[in-house]
Amino acid sequence: MAKKLAGKMKLQIPAGKANPSPPVGPALGQRGINIMEFCKAFNAKTQEMEPGAPCPTEITYYQDKSFTMDIKTPPASYYLKKAAGLKPVGKRNRPRGAVLPGRETIATVTTKQVREIAEAKMRDLSATDVEQAMKIILGSAKSMGIEVKG
Amino acid sequence: MPTTYTAYTKLGSQEAAEALGEAMESLDPEPTGVGVFEIEDGSGTWEVGGYFLAPPDDIELTLLARAFDASDFVVSKVPDTDWVDKVRRELTPVVAGRFFVYGSHDADKIPDDSEPLLIEAAMAFGTGHHGTTQGCLEALDRLASGGFEGRNVADIGCGTAVLAMGAARIWPGAVVASDIDAVAVEVAQANVDANGLDGRVTCLEATGFDHPDLAARAPFDLVFANILKQPLIDLAPAMAAHLAPGGYAILSGLLTRQVDEVVEAYDAAGIALLRRDTIGDWATLTLQKRGI
């Protein structure tokens, strides 16, 4: 069937927990996209993931209100903060990184944890192997003030 | 519901809009979602919007708008709306000839004298809410009203399988629905089941007619292809090979200005134009293979 593109949007949605509250409800609702069908499909696709992990999701929607979604793995910062045991703070209940990254070390993670994160994010990274992916994760860790030891 | 905010701006190209959308993701407070939308007025204008749980920073937004040569952001509180209900009210049933295409939320509105097709607006094209799908259903209705009975029908690029199911609703013969997209085939099968047409419509994944089941079932006496101009043109020789002499093709997915090119390709393949219909900017063609 011909797919006539109408627009694209990128939303960060918790795995397995899409519901009609913001941003999903207004973002899709203002474009006339079937919110409940979207939530059903998103939750089914993310049911194997850790519940609540934030998934950047690109939604492409078409002129007849049908849609497709490309669900990415959670950001490296999410995995790193979790591995480092940083406590969630603030209104959004998320762990905070360093205020002065590069000059301040707020936590540490192990090389093994970096490898696990690299493996989890492999499909979304522009890396040909896990070692290369680990370098990308190490860069993220450094920029957040998280040191890698062991 | 907690108060949430949106910040919207407009600019002149898709490329710039996508770049601005990416840049918005690093705002502080960060948006929970960023959308890049084409404004459907033919002006080529794009809209970029962010959704925020806290009021966005006006200065950051102004700087961002300047950097991307966009109009100033308009920040507003998101109205406290029942979005699910709003969408359901907008996704109204579509009437095309004898067919009534509806979502499950409108199951109580099916007219007695219609052929109902249950289609949820979800992950495959062909919800009925587009001129191409409507045009094809109306063309099918016209053929049937004229006394034609499709005994062996194919829907190439079926999406939701709405056209295949329409044919299966009104005729007892076999219908095969294929799509290049595996997700669409899954959706098509789910729709076939939901409409009680399991066993009547066979869904399969194929590029054009390139599938042994399609080859085995040919020649068809009716083939739908609601795809796009170039794939339609590319499909012309295969269409001729798979249509029975005197068989019909219902084609759509092409803009009115693209009609001549498609008609020419099909005429060269031995399939002549019988009728052309237009809904909005979209054309639907009914053609017949020569050599009855």
> Does residue B101 belong to any structural domain of this protein?
no
- In B, residues 59-118, which contact A (CB 8 Å cutoff)? 78, 81, 83-84, 86-87, 90-91, 103
Same domain, B216 and B279: yes
State the amino acid at position B196 in one-letter form: G
Q: How confident is the model at residue A90 (pLDDT cuts 50, 70, 90)?
A: very low
* B78, B120, B123 ranked by CB distance to A26: nearest: B78
In A, minimum Cα distance to B34 occurs at A10
Boundaries of every domain in chain A: 5-71, 76-148
Same domain, B140 and B71: no
pLDDT tens-digit readout, A13-45: 889 989 888 788 888 998 889 998 899 889 989
Same domain, B167 and B268: yes
Total domains present in chain B: 2
Q: Cβ contact (<8 Å) for B125 and A64?
A: yes
Task: Examine the pLDDT at A92 and tell me if it is beyond 50.
Answer: no
Question: A76-148 is classed in which CATH architecture?
Answer: Orthogonal Bundle (1.10)
In the listed set B45, B63, B78, which residue is the last one of a domain according to the structure?
Answer: B78
Task: Examine the pLDDT at B292 and tell me if it is beyond 80.
Answer: no
Q: Cβ contact (<8 Å) for A9 and B36?
A: yes
pLDDT tens-digit readout, B146-182: 999 999 999 999 999 999 999 999 999 999 999 999 9
**Chain A residues touching B132 at Cβ < 8 A:** 2, 4
Report the C-alpha gap between A34 and B211 in whole angstroms: 33
Domain at B234, CATH number: 3.40.50.150
Q: Cβ contact (<8 Å) for A27 and B35?
A: yes
Q: Is B252 an interface residue toward A (CB < 8 Å)?
A: yes
Domain at B46, CATH number: 3.30.70.260
In the listed set B14, B47, B78, which residue is the last one of a domain according to the structure?
Answer: B78
Same domain, B61 and B135: no
Q: Which CA distances in Å does A143 have to A97, A99, A124? A: 9, 10, 19
| Cis, peptide link before residue B245, omega less than 30° from 0 | no
Same domain, B187 and B67: no
- How many residue pairs from chains A and B have C-beta atoms closer than 8 A? 152
Average model confidence (pLDDT) across chain B: 93
Report the C-alpha gap between B281 and A25 in whole angstroms: 30
**Chain B residues touching A28 at Cβ < 8 A:** 83, 87
Quick check: pTM over 0.90?
A: no
Question: A5-71 is classed in which CATH architecture?
Answer: 2-Layer Sandwich (3.30)
Helix (H, G, I), strand (E, B) or coil at B225: strand
Same domain, B38 and B145: no
Same domain, B135 and B241: yes
Same domain, B64 and B179: no
> Does residue B90 belong to any structural domain of this protein?
no
Per-residue model confidence (pLDDT) at position A93? 43
> Does residue B112 belong to any structural domain of this protein?
no
Same domain, B16 and B159: no
**Chain A residues touching B32 at Cβ < 8 A:** 11-12, 22-23
Q: Cβ contact (<8 Å) for B4 and A23?
A: yes
Same domain, B155 and B62: no
Report the C-alpha gap between A111 and A109 in whole angstroms: 7
Dihedral sign, CA of B170, B175, B180, B183? positive
Domain containing residue B55: 4-78
pLDDT tens-digit readout, B78-127: 888 888 888 888 899 999 999 999 999 999 999 999 999 999 988 888 88
**Chain B residues touching A72 at Cβ < 8 A:** none
Q: Residue B6 in contact with residue A23, Cβ under 8 Å?
A: no
Q: Cβ contact (<8 Å) for B51 and A10?
A: no
* B37, B128, B133 ranked by CB distance to A7: nearest: B37
B33-44 mean pLDDT: 79
> Does residue B111 belong to any structural domain of this protein?
no
Angle, helices B162-170/B131-145, rounded to nearest 10 degrees: 20
> Does residue B12 belong to any structural domain of this protein?
yes
**Chain A residues touching B48 at Cβ < 8 A:** none
Same domain, B196 and B61: no
Same domain, B140 and B224: yes
- In B, residues 146-175, which contact A (CB 8 Å cutoff)? 157-160
Shortest alpha-carbon distance between residue B79 and chain A (Å): 9
In the listed set B78, B99, B123, which residue is the last one of a domain according to the structure?
Answer: B78
